[in-house]
């Protein structure tokens, strides 16, 4: 019987017939984590995890992308290494790696995970704030962002805080931090570095702070896919948003990483597009240009936000299925569709948003 969350109780009962209860519980937990870990690690069945470490570990594609920026450095420290997801990627990028963590159990897991993949690194039990650190050419740090079930966004609450790690190295030392993607932008202003938001297969994953020669001061949005491809958008200084204009023939919904990096005005400049409202991160243009940094829509109609008028338009155009998106709208999207009785073979998106200060419903078809 292959353990799954659904049959875990039955599996545990069978295991307890042959092993001590504590051992049976731990074995089942590891089996479940290895199954879950396949989403991040192709060889998860040979690796060791804790639930928290697996949840916080970087996806393989993200770790490899980050590690590629360390490829020119000989010896790299992986601080707060946990179970070693980034250690593995750094070694694969050709770096000599010393992985450091103050938790001996997690560090041992990292060592076993490295061995399982046939990779070699040095593993050191140490406190990154108080212990002696080996000499190195660069460092990566993934400070803890949760404790007792609570997630932290403020950098001062990280374990340890990034500013205290920076203080352990010479000024300008090449150092990078993995941070929560929801971090407040003003917290990053004290660091003279590059701020990068990473998205994987359409999901915003993390913020990376690149210091010293590892980065160029500015903002970057990088979109990755699991196959290893990526697209990046960068600006040293965020552009000033243009004046909002009426929605035109095409609509762009920028990727989350672009929004978080404050690069929507930069994208607008590239696409010759204009904002639809000062409070909404959507763009409009007459001539559509495909871009990896936004989802494109062909606009059929822009209607005043009135459920009955939207319903009437959809019925008159044979639209039987809709997907409702909210972008800066105040209304409950479920409320506007609950009384619709649509029939037809066509599908459209109903984007409830704002246009120059007014709430509108945009009927549109997504462009692939």
pLDDT on residue 149: 61
φ and ψ of 29, to 5 deg = -60, -45
pLDDT on residue 341: 82
The whole-angstrom separation of Cα 358 and Cα 335 is: 19
- For residue 280, is it within any domain? yes
The whole-angstrom separation of Cα 42 and Cα 89 is: 13
**Percent over 70 (pLDDT), the chain:** 95
Closest to 201 measured CA to CA, from 180, 227, 220: 227
Mean pLDDT (the chain) is 90
In eight-state DSSP terms, residue 324 is E
* 216 and 255 together in one domain: no
Mean pLDDT of 175-187: 93
Q: Does residue 237 or residue 169 have the better pLDDT?
A: 169
| SS3 at position 286 | coil
Q: Which domain holds residue 256?
A: 250-367
| SS3 at position 121 | coil
- For residue 240, is it within any domain? no
| SS3 at position 296 | strand
pLDDT on residue 20: 84
pLDDT on residue 165: 97
In eight-state DSSP terms, residue 305 is S
The whole-angstrom separation of Cα 195 and Cα 192 is: 9
Q: Which of 184, 204, 235 is the last residue of a domain?
A: 235
φ and ψ of 79, to 5 deg = -85, 140
Number of domains in the chain: 2
* 231 and 254 together in one domain: no
pLDDT on residue 331: 62
- Given a cut of 80, is residue 252 above it in pLDDT? yes
* 287 and 357 together in one domain: yes
| SS3 at position 268 | helix
- For residue 262, is it within any domain? yes
Mean pLDDT of 183-210: 94
Mean pLDDT of 218-243: 92
User: Is the overall model pTM greater than 0.75, yes or no?
Assistant: yes
Q: Where is average pLDDT lowest: 10-24, 149-163, 303-317?
A: 10-24
What would the DSSP string read from start to end of 176-235? EEEE-TT--GGGGTTS-SEEEEEEETTEEEEEEEEEGGG--SEEEEEEE-TTS-EEEEEE
pLDDT on residue 50: 86
Mean pLDDT of 269-285: 96
The whole-angstrom separation of Cα 353 and Cα 101 is: 47
* 311 and 180 together in one domain: no
| SS3 at position 12 | helix
* 120 and 219 together in one domain: yes
Q: Does residue 157 or residue 52 have the better pLDDT?
A: 157
The number of C-alpha atoms within 13 Å of 136 and in the hemisphere containing its C-beta is 26
pLDDT on residue 11: 66
- For residue 31, is it within any domain? no
pLDDT on residue 57: 84
Contact of 155 with 183, CB cutoff 8 Å:
yes
Contact of 110 with 51, CB cutoff 8 Å:
no
């Amino acid at each position: 019987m292959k353990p799954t969350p659904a049959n875990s109780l039955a599996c545990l009962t069978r295991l307890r017939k042959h092993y001590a209860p504590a051992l049976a519980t731990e074995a089942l937990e590891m089996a479940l984590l290895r199954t879950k870990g396949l989403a991040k690690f192709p060889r998860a069945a040979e690796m060791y995890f804790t639930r928290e470490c697996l949840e916080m570990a970087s996806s393989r594609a993200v770790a490899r992308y980050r590690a590629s920026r360390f490829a020119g450095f000989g010896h790299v420290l992986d601080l707060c290494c946990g179970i070693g997801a980034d250690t593995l990627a750094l070694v694969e990028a050709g770096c000599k790696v010393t992985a450091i963590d103050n938790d001996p159990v997690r560090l041992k897991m990292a060592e076993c995970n490295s061995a399982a993949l046939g990779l070699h690194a040095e593993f050191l039990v140490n406190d990154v704030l108080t212990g002696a650190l080996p000499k190195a050419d660069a460092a990566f740090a993934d400070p803890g962002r949760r404790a007792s079930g609570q997630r932290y966004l403020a950098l001062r609450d990280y374990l340890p805080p990034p500013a205290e790690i920076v203080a352990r190295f010479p000024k300008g030392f090449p150092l990078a931090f993995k941070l929560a993607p929801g971090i407040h932008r003003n917290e990053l202003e004290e660091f003279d570095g590059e701020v990068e938001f990473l998205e994987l297969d359409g999901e915003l994953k993390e913020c990376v702070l690149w210091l010293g020669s590892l980065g160029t001061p500015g903002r970057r949005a990088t979109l990755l896919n699991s196959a290893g491809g990526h697209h990046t958008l960068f600006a040293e200084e965020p552009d000033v948003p243009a004046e909002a204009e009426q929605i035109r023939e095409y609509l762009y919904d920028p990727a989350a990483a672009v929004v978080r990096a404050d690069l929507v005005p930069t994208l607008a400049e590239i696409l010759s597009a204009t904002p639809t409202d000062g409070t909404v991160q959507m763009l409009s243009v007459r001539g559509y240009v495909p871009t990896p940094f936004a989802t494109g829509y062909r606009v059929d109609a822009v209607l005043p936000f009135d459920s009955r008028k939207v319903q009437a338009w959809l019925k008159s155009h044979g639209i039987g299925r809709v997907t409702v998106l909210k972008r800066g709208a105040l209304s409950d999207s479920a409320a506007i569709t609950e009384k619709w009785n649509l029939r037809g073979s066509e599908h459209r998106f109903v984007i409830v948003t704002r246009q120059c200060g007014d709430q509108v419903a945009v009927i549109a078809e997504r462009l692939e």
